[in-house]
Amino acid sequence: MRNDMFSVLRRSPFSLAKTRDVALRLGAVIACLALLVIATPNSAQAFSDEELRNIAEQLNDKSATKKVAVIEEMAADGDPRVAPILKAMLDGDLYVRDSDEHVVIATKKGKVFTHIDIVSGEEVGESSSKELSKIKINNRLRGALRDALATLNLFSPDLNIRSAAVEQIMDARDPAMLPLLLRAIDREEDETLLARMELAQATMALAAGETTEERLSAIDVLASETTPQIRAVLSQFVASAEAEGYEPEVVAAAQDALESVEGRLSTWQTIGDVYRGISLGSVLLLAAVGLAITFGVMGVINMAHGEMIMIGAYTTFMVQQALGSILPSGSAWSLVISVPAAFLVAGAVGVVIERSVIRFLYGRPLETLLATWGVSLVLQQAIRTIFGATNQQVTAPDFMSGAIEFSTGLVLTYNRLWIILFSIIVVAGIAAVLRYTAFGLQMRAVTQNRRMAGSVGIRTGYVDALTFGLGSGIAGIAGVALSQISNVSPNLGQTYIIDSFMVVVFGGVGNLWGTVLGAFSLGIVNKFLEPMAGAVLAKIFVLIALILFIQKRPKGLFALKGRAVEA
Amino acid sequence: MTDYRQKYQMTPVIGWLLKDRGGMILLGILIAAAILVPASNLLLPESSAFHVPTWMVSLLGKYLCYALLALSVDLIWGFCGILSLGHGAFFALGGYAMGMYLMRQIGDRGVYGDPILPDFMVFLNWQELPWYWHGFDMFWFAIVMAMFVPGLLAFVFGFLAFRSRVTGVYLSIITQAMTYALLLAFFRNDMGFGGNNGLTDFKDLLGYSLQSDGTRAGLFVASCVFLGICYTVARGITQSRLGKVLIAIRDAESRVRFTGYRVEYYKLFVFTVSAVMAGIAGALYVPQVGIINPGEFAPALSIEIVIWVAVGGRGTLYGAVLGAFIVNYAKTFFTGAMPDFWLFFLGGLFIAVTLFLPKGVIGAVPAFGSADRQSLFTTWRKRRANEGGKA
Amino acid sequence: MNKKLQALIGAGAMAVSAMAMSAAQAAETIKVGVLHSLSGTMAISETTLKDTVLMLVDDLNKNGGLLGKQVEAVVVDPASDWPLFAEKARELIEQEQVAVVFGCWTSVSRKSVLPVFEELNSMLFYPVQYEGEESSRNVFYTGAAPNQQAIPAVDYLMSEDGGSAERIVLLGTDYVYPRTTNKILRSYLNGKGISDEDIMENYTPFGHSDWQSIVADVKAFASAGKKTAVVSTINGDANVPFYKELANQGIKAEDIPVVAFSVGEEELAGIDTAPLVGHLAAWNYFQSVESDANTAFIEKWHAFIGDESRVTNDPMEATYIGFNMWKQAVEQAGTTDVDAVRQAMYGQEVANLTGGTAVMNTNHHLSKPVLIGEVQDDGQFDIVWETEGTVVGDAWSDFLPESAKLTADWTYPWVCGNCEKPMY
Amino acid sequence: MSEAAAIQKNASDEEQVKSAQSETILYVDGVSVTFDGFRALNNLSFYVEPGELRAIIGPNGAGKTTMMDIITGKTRPDTGDVLFKSEIDLTKLDEAEIANLGIGRKFQKPTVFESHTVFDNLLLACSGGRGVFQALFHRLSDAEKIKIEKTLVTIMLEDKRDEMAANLSHGQKQWLEIGMLLMQEPELLLVDEPVAGMTDSETEETAKLLRSISKEYSVVVVEHDMEFVRDLDCKVTVLHEGSVLAEGRLDHVQKDPRVIEVYLGR
């Protein structure tokens, strides 16, 4: 399951500072492990069933400190049955059964919990949550559990578990782990994992190594890497140089290594900014593209555009509610179905608005501003009255949660990646409709010369309605995407309306490509400013830049030149 | 006797004022209100049927400020076709100027008892007053700033925009960008304007306690007077040849250019004047509501102002005043009477007005359907025909 | 055909509407004002509190009302528009003649109505955690002051169980509550030996929806080797996108715990919390607290709102406490007269929903227990830490030089909200 | 100028070219302009002498209106010179400046100030005080009134003086616009399709109007109504694809095979 794999990969470096606490408990763990590693590991049966049951019951102790001690003791034993218990505890699946005070691993199915005996590992009855009391953990315990599991898993037959353990050890970076790690290196066959292990070893050897050679070789290994962890390792080493009295040549070497690592990291930072800019751009694009039609093409200053997005988001919510019972949670289908649904719902609303209000206002763009503003107020209140003012929850399907994480610290979250892709598809779709379909042709005809279009037999009213419907429908689709990153509330639309107008105007009214370019450039500029100026100032700068830009290009990025404009 | 003779022979002011029926009525009412309302509030006993309660006085005062704001928008939108979606910015700037004065007046009566620094500076431990706060302890300076700062902003912004011939929705959107940028800027606590909380907890104005009925009445009168003056000025402008040029620009900008007028200068002039009026409105508004904060920069507010004008009737000046009162009264009433559904009514009102009263409420009153308004509507119809629904 | 006419219509209509109401209620009612935004940006949070007050009033009337009279809630909508708050407050007090007002969420709305309540000597109960630095004779603050939320929270973060954080990120929306709170925290942390280079402060606009860069920055900041924790004073709308980004970028609670002061059950209702398990919030109340009073309250709430899935949260409890305190004070004073009730308020005790009792102090702030909860995968919080006994709300923070000097005490001999020495 | 004189000139056109610059009121030389790749004007050159009435004809897209735009400063040429009175370079000035130099332009689509009375339309066009504050404090002088009255007569709208321009007929708007040009006291009038959509009687009236005007001013008329051009009875320049195809008396150019091919042939 991808998530689990990443849940490990995703872990941010150095989660565990080398506090006294950690040192001690790892010390204990290693001491014992050292023994049992020599005596063939993973096969030891140090615990009798009775002992295991008793010690497990101590996991329910009040004091976290005691719990930590117990966890270490269990881990140190190396009993293969321990790992599943600790894992369950980490996942919050470890309970005490009220009936017989036994510790059981309980997994929830619907309303029922199935109990698995920690000793035998077999199902031993089931019950409701009432008869179980959960063994509580906090962040400190999570840390302890994870380290314990790491040391246990270092020799696990499963490669994934092993590599996860290595990452964890690299995070902890406790010299006490070095001997254990070395032993693991001896046994490791997998090349890539071996490399990681050696890297981990290097991170520790830097400080722990006895000889200058060891340190220098460690630095060589590290210098070739490009991760924030390594930067921290080196910078800490350099910082503590004279305190620890390291050899000058070593320190110098470390300094060089540090610089090279930092240099490479900064380029990755830039890459990250660009990506985030594109991602923001894609969101802006989705929000604006519907407006590019209702406002850009039809000239309706559509203040209700934001509400169309909102309607799309609420449609997504309703689809999920409707399908929630049928589909497993995290299924992609509800979202997939939401897209056409949102298009139809928002589109229909759009058509109604066009027929009932806007069609009376063509050629009076400023009136459309007032009317649609009224419409937006009504729609907001309507949603509020129907669904209530509070947020609605739209769960993210599995394929949209999580992220691809590069060791260089660059994180590409799936939902952002999908939204970028989605925005491109949507735009391509619109372009296709405008260019290749009869409707697109009629639409352009009507917007360019209504009377002429009418006289050649195009039903202009019909085209108007559909055009507005199209724009609204696309806004609805945007709502589906935005429901994944933003909150689904009656105010959703207001969040995006201003930005949408900025994008369309910046790109040049009536020009789809202008909107695309506008969205991405605004996004990227914003993201480059943000780290320097902070989010608020960045936004202000972007707005000022927009104002000044319009001075240079009064008709936006892509403006038609010549007489056409004046006509 | 053809009417252009009277139009140009009479001493101007009286001449066109007499011709302006709506204006006369408005000014008459303003004068009456300026006398009666405070009188009945201060002199008549609470029990009297004609007693105007204090909350009503300050409420009306607030409406008057909104009316003045709407007037300033109508001057540029109704007569010169400049649709500003950022006029709230000028209003708020004027308000902040006044707010800064009132803030300085608190003196050491602030919670921290600092004689110079406003409270919000003290608890974010600022050491001394930022330079731009100096001088605001003087009333005249604050008043000058309340007009100068919005005026200057409008002048610079307008100079850039009109010189490079930014028109139509492009202009509207960048005005919106302007007010939005200011909104964000004033939200920042580092700006030294009290961040989101803005300026509040005012004590007194020129030594008169803001809490006292007398001061309220005074502010109410002041609002009436300034609305009257600004109306007269605005009417003066629109009646002059300059006003005719403005209308000409609204209807056929390029023709005006080819006739040899520097369109950008005319726009710049009226835009600046309008901004100054908005600034005055803001300065009058703050002491009556007791708070000024970045919320006044919100683009939504600026859009609402335009809606007031449209509801009342664009291009008539008095229509704008009427519109401001109608919409804001409706808001006051419905938010109390039906708090859960009032947006339906307000939204519905806007839709209805645009659909059924294209000339606004005032346009529905035959007596006020002036020739100007007439043609404004026909222009729309023609433009629709010509442009075939393209903006 | 103009302003004056409008004014008259205005006066008329208002009077009529007022009369209509009172007529219906046979004038023998005690009016209670509810001043919460039902539209605009704050509706998302405040609507719930309106319903809470209505529920409490409903309940009170079922049990025979107050002083033998029925209690009537007068609801208005200030629409998240701050000057409108002041206008509406005036309307409630002068027109509707309400005995007390429950309302406001944001600091700015409170600041906006404050002069009105002081001028007309009325009474406001303010149910939301806030930045402190205020004590008005006419306001009772039933939400948490910084020392009842922020300080304990960072104490916990720095404790062993909290993960012994040595590096703190202060994320906030750019307005006065986060600014002030973070100022207090910074000086507190410095006092605890955490130097400024181990503190990162970052502010974002209201409703900030794109958190990629900032979350990435936090990760970078955390990669320096010391245990890092985040203290979030991010407000309202911005939270959902923030937590979604947090989840997707995989910031695990045991690596970088985030403790929030403005995120409760209500805010989490919009998020799938499975990836957020272990992140923290500090409040005086959590729905998950097991106590009979709480269970009863939740049942009552679900019955009243007619929706089993609706959650309860801290400001609701604050409202509950405030309302009951006012009720007791009125009964004790035998009148709804503001001055009498105010005197009766001091030392008034109400049982918390979380067990123990809340006491109203003479600085108009409550003594309440402080709880720290961990987000669970069901959107609820699991209490991982709580103060022994209650914490007295400080109107004036001890960690800001200017305010440390000040005392708020509305009883003799002080009779002052911000004095360095007693009045008498 | 008399017909004879005009013929004289045509005969000796070639010599004129060299010295044209010194005598022309309008001198357009080698002007080219391109809109998004489309070449609207292609090395266009022609000259108008003081007091001349010139008709410019050509099929749609020949660049007639673009040429007007160039002369009046609405569009800037990519290359070429446009000189007024032989020395003033128009390509450097903007509409208002050019208008104030004394070049009046009438649009293809009649554009008058619809919300103003006929009287006010003329008043606004009235030469003199264009400054903002002049306008603000302007009072109507008797001189101006007389001048307006005079023009009202010229354009046959004296009884429509207080009508809203919006309520005029199409033809009347055209005349009003011409009247507004006259009020500017220009030295050169550019008239774009003055009779488009006019009734025959109106067309004749207009032709008469322009001929009478051309006694005082230099006039350039863009038109493709042949009959009307014939009525004007003046020198004709034929544009095609942005450059001059032929020039001379109408009957003369009508014989030109190329003209027949591109224009009359259709």
Does residue A68 lie within any of the structural domains? yes
Model confidence over B241-290: pLDDT tens digits? 888 889 988 888 888 888 888 899 999 999 999 999 999 999 999 999 98
- Least Cα separation, residue D40 to chain A (angstroms): 9
Q: Give me Rg for the CA atoms of chain D.
A: 19
The pLDDT of residue A329 is: 66
Look at C114 and B325 and tell me if their CB atoms are within 8 Å: no
Parent domain of A256:
179-266
How far is the C-alpha of C409 from the C-alpha of C363, rounded, in Å? 5
- Kindly tell me the burial class for residue C24, based on how many C-beta atoms sit within 10 Å of its own C-beta (0-12, 13-18, 19 or more): exposed
Sheet holding C371-375, edge to edge: C199-204, C167-173, C228-233, C258-260, C280-283, C371-375, C381-386
Model confidence over A102-141: pLDDT tens digits? 888 888 777 788 888 888 878 888 787 777 888 888 888 8
CATH code of the domain in which B306 resides: 1.10.3470
> Does B241 contact D at CB distance below 8 Å?
yes
Q: Name residue, tokens 């309400």.
A: C98
- Least Cα separation, residue B80 to chain D (angstroms): 12
3 state SS of A560: coil
- Least Cα separation, residue A411 to chain C (angstroms): 7
- Nearest CB among A64, A136, A409 relative to C219 is that of A409
pLDDT (average), residues B183-193 = 87
Q: Which residues pair with C375 in a beta bridge?
A: C381
Chain D partners of A567 at a C-beta cutoff of 8 Å? Answer: none
Q: Name residue, tokens 């010189």.
A: B163
Q: Is the pLDDT of residue B98 over 90?
A: yes
Chains contacting D with at least 3 CB pairs below 8 Å? A, B
Look at C10 and B198 and tell me if their CB atoms are within 8 Å: no
- Nearest CB among B185, B348, B354 relative to A361 is that of B354
How far is the C-alpha of B169 from the C-alpha of D63, rounded, in Å? 30
CB C270 within 8 A of CB A488: yes
The average confidence (pLDDT) of chain C is 87
Token pair, residue B152, equals: 């200057």
Contacts of D236 (CB under 8 A, 6+ apart): D54, D55, D56, D57, D229, D247, D248, D249, D250, D253
Q: Which residues pair with C173 in a beta bridge?
A: C204
Chain B partners of C9 at a C-beta cutoff of 8 Å? Answer: 329
| Residue finishing a domain among A147, A169, A191 | A169
Look at B83 and A366 and tell me if their CB atoms are within 8 Å: yes
> Does C250 contact A at CB distance below 8 Å?
yes
- Least Cα separation, residue C77 to chain B (angstroms): 5
Confidence band, pLDDT 50/70/90 cuts, at residue B376 = very low
DSSP readout, C184-246?
Answer: HHHHHHHHTT--GGGEEEEEE-TT----HHHHHHHHHHHTTSS-EEEEEE--GGGHHHHHHHH
Residues A259 and A394 in one domain: no
CB B230 within 8 A of CB B72: yes
Q: Is the pLDDT of residue B150 over 60?
A: yes
- Least Cα separation, residue B234 to chain D (angstroms): 12
CATH code of the domain in which A388 resides: 1.10.3470
Parent domain of B324:
3-387
At A115, give phi and psi (nearest 5°): -90, 135
Query: For every residue of chain B, which 3-state class applies, written as one string?
Result: CCHHHHHHHCCHHHHHHHHCHHHHHHHHHHHHHHHHHHHHHHCCCCCCCCCCCHHHHHHHHHHHHHHHHHHHHHHHHHHHCCCCCCHHHHHHHHHHHHHHHHHHHHHHHCCCCCCCCCHHHHHCCCCCCCHHHCCCCCHHHHHHHHHHHHHHHHHHHHHHHHHCCCCHHHHHHHHHHHHHHHHHHHHCHHHCCCHHHCEECCCEECCEECCCHHHHHHHHHHHHHHHHHHHHHHHHHHHCHHHHHHHHHHHCHHHHHHCCCCHHHHHHHHHHHHHHHHHHHHHHHHHHHCEECHHHHCHHHHHHHHHHHHHHCCCCCHHHHHHHHHHHHHHHHHHHHCCCCHHHHHHHHHHHHHHHCCCHHHHHCHHHCCHHHHHHHHHHHHHHHHHCCCC
> Does D36 contact A at CB distance below 8 Å?
yes
Residues A477 and A376 in one domain: yes
The pLDDT of residue B360 is: 83
In this prediction, the residues of chain A whose per-residue pLDDT falls under 50 are 1-23, 34-44, 561-567
Residues A129 and A218 in one domain: no
Token pair, residue A24, equals: 């001690």
Residue of chain A nearest D68, judged by CA positions: A563
For chain C, positions 104-123, list CB contacts with chain B under 8 A: 106-108, 111-112, 114-116, 119
Q: Which domains does chain D have, with CATH numbers?
A: 3-113+186-264 (3.40.50.300)
- Least Cα separation, residue A394 to chain C (angstroms): 7
Helix B139-163 × helix A535-552 angle, to 10°: 50
Residues A150 and A189 in one domain: no
Residues A125 and A141 in one domain: no
Confidence band, pLDDT 50/70/90 cuts, at residue B209 = confident
Does residue A317 lie within any of the structural domains? yes
Chains contacting A with at least 3 CB pairs below 8 Å? B, C, D
For chain B, positions 309-328, list CB contacts with chain C under 8 A: 318, 321-322, 325-326
The pLDDT of residue D264 is: 53
Chain C partners of B58 at a C-beta cutoff of 8 Å? Answer: 90
Cα of first residue to Cα of last residue in chain C, in angstroms, is 57
Percent of chain C beyond pLDDT 70? 94
> Does B290 contact C at CB distance below 8 Å?
yes
At C418, give phi and psi (nearest 5°): -155, 70
Q: Name residue, tokens 């934001």.
A: A306
CB A316 within 8 A of CB A335: yes
Q: What are the counts of helices (DSSP H) followed by strands (DSSP E) for chain C?
A: 13, 18
Q: Is the pLDDT of residue C11 over 70?
A: no
How far is the C-alpha of C221 from the C-alpha of C14, rounded, in Å? 58
> Which of A101, A100, A123 is CA-nearest to residue A112?
A123
> Does C403 contact B at CB distance below 8 Å?
yes
Rounded to the nearest 5 degrees, what angle is found at the Cα of B74, between the Cα atoms of B70 and B76?
Answer: 125
- Least Cα separation, residue C274 to chain B (angstroms): 34
Look at C108 and B198 and tell me if their CB atoms are within 8 Å: yes
The pLDDT of residue A62 is: 77
Contacts of C346 (CB under 8 A, 6+ apart): C360, C361, C362, C410, C411
- Kindly tell me the burial class for residue A50, based on how many C-beta atoms sit within 10 Å of its own C-beta (0-12, 13-18, 19 or more): exposed
- Nearest CB among A361, A448, A509 relative to B169 is that of A509
Mutation target to probe the C interface, by most C beta carbons within 10 A, among A71, A95, A139 is A139
As a residue count, chain D comes to: 266
Report which DSSP code applies to A129: G
Compute the Cα dihedral for C280, C283, C284, C289 and give only its sign: negative
Residues A278 and A376 in one domain: yes
> Which of B352, C155, C345 is CA-nearest to residue C336?
C345
How far is the C-alpha of C94 from the C-alpha of B55, rounded, in Å? 7
- Nearest CB among A560, A561, A563 relative to D65 is that of A563
Residues A241 and A143 in one domain: no
Chain C partners of B23 at a C-beta cutoff of 8 Å? Answer: none
Residue of chain A nearest C257, judged by CA positions: A139
Q: Is the pLDDT of residue B382 over 80?
A: no
Residues A474 and A450 in one domain: yes
How far is the C-alpha of B114 from the C-alpha of C420, rounded, in Å? 13
- Least Cα separation, residue B22 to chain D (angstroms): 19
> Does C266 contact B at CB distance below 8 Å?
no
Look at B347 and A375 and tell me if their CB atoms are within 8 Å: yes
Residues A213 and A243 in one domain: yes
> Does A511 contact C at CB distance below 8 Å?
no
The pLDDT of residue B182 is: 94
- Least Cα separation, residue A561 to chain D (angstroms): 6
For chain D, 266 residues long, give each residue's pLDDT as a single digit of tens. 444 444 444 444 444 444 444 577 888 888 888 877 777 888 888 888 888 888 888 877 778 888 888 888 888 888 888 888 878 888 888 888 888 888 888 887 778 888 888 888 888 887 777 777 877 887 777 888 888 888 888 888 888 878 888 888 888 888 888 888 888 888 888 888 877 777 788 888 888 888 888 888 888 888 877 778 887 778 888 888 888 888 888 888 877 888 777 765 54
Token pair, residue D157, equals: 């709208």
Rounded to the nearest 5 degrees, what angle is found at the Cα of D146, between the Cα atoms of D140 and D149?
Answer: 105
Look at A381 and B343 and tell me if their CB atoms are within 8 Å: yes
The pLDDT of residue C20 is: 45
Residue of chain D nearest B1, judged by CA positions: D162
How far is the C-alpha of A354 from the C-alpha of D102, rounded, in Å? 48
CB A44 within 8 A of CB C288: no
Residues A399 and A501 in one domain: yes
The separation between CA C29 and the C-alpha centre of its own chain, rounded to angstroms, equals 28
> Which of A306, A341, A350 is CA-nearest to residue A466?
A350
For chain A, positions 501-560, list CB contacts with chain D under 8 A: 560
The pLDDT of residue B58 is: 87
CB D194 within 8 A of CB D178: yes
CB C72 within 8 A of CB C31: yes
The pLDDT of residue B126 is: 82
Quote the number of domains for chain A. 4
Chains contacting B with at least 3 CB pairs below 8 Å? A, C, D
Q: How many CA atoms lie within 13 A of B50 on its CB side?
A: 8
Residue at C377: amino acid letter: D
- Nearest CB among C160, C205, C240 relative to A391 is that of C240
Model confidence over A464-483: pLDDT tens digits? 899 999 999 999 999 999 98
Look at A370 and B307 and tell me if their CB atoms are within 8 Å: yes
Look at B174 and A550 and tell me if their CB atoms are within 8 Å: yes
Chains A and D touch, using 3 or more CB pairs below 8 Å? yes
Token pair, residue D203, equals: 């067309």
Residues A215 and A308 in one domain: no
- Kindly tell me the burial class for residue A564, based on how many C-beta atoms sit within 10 Å of its own C-beta (0-12, 13-18, 19 or more): exposed
Percent of chain A beyond pLDDT 90? 20
Look at C402 and B33 and tell me if their CB atoms are within 8 Å: no
Contacts of D220 (CB under 8 A, 6+ apart): D26, D48, D54, D55, D56, D188, D189, D190, D191
Report in angstroms the alpha-carbon separations of C416 from A195, B148, C401.
70, 41, 19
Report in angstroms the alpha-carbon separations of A55 from A22, A50, C173.
21, 9, 47
Does residue A174 lie within any of the structural domains? no
Residues A326 and A373 in one domain: yes
Give the distance between the most distant pair of CA atoms in chain A. Answer: 94
The pLDDT of residue C331 is: 93
> Does C418 contact B at CB distance below 8 Å?
yes
pLDDT (average), residues C174-190 = 88
How far is the C-alpha of C4 from the C-alpha of B34, rounded, in Å? 10
Cα of first residue to Cα of last residue in chain B, in angstroms, is 42
3 state SS of D12: coil
Q: Name residue, tokens 């007091």.
A: D51
The pLDDT of residue C78 is: 92
- Nearest CB among B113, B187, B197 relative to C111 is that of B197
The pLDDT of residue D4 is: 47
Look at A363 and B166 and tell me if their CB atoms are within 8 Å: no
ipTM for the whole complex:
0.86
Look at B262 and D130 and tell me if their CB atoms are within 8 Å: yes
How far is the C-alpha of D207 from the C-alpha of A293, rounded, in Å? 46
Sheet holding D38-48, edge to edge: D38-48, D26-35, D79-84, D88-89
Contacts of A218 (CB under 8 A, 6+ apart): A201, A202, A203, A205, A206, A209
Rounded to the nearest 5 degrees, what angle is found at the Cα of C46, between the Cα atoms of C40 and C52?
Answer: 145
Token pair, residue A37, equals: 């590693």
Mutation target to probe the C interface, by most C beta carbons within 10 A, among B27, B180, B196, B284 is B196
Chain A partners of B188 at a C-beta cutoff of 8 Å? Answer: 536-537
Asked, as a colleague might, if the bond just before C413 is cis with ω within 30 of 0, I would say yes
The pLDDT of residue A350 is: 94
Quote the number of domains for chain B. 1
Q: Which domains does chain C have, with CATH numbers?
A: 26-144+297-367 (3.40.50.2300), 147-289+370-395 (3.40.50.2300)
The pLDDT of residue B16 is: 67
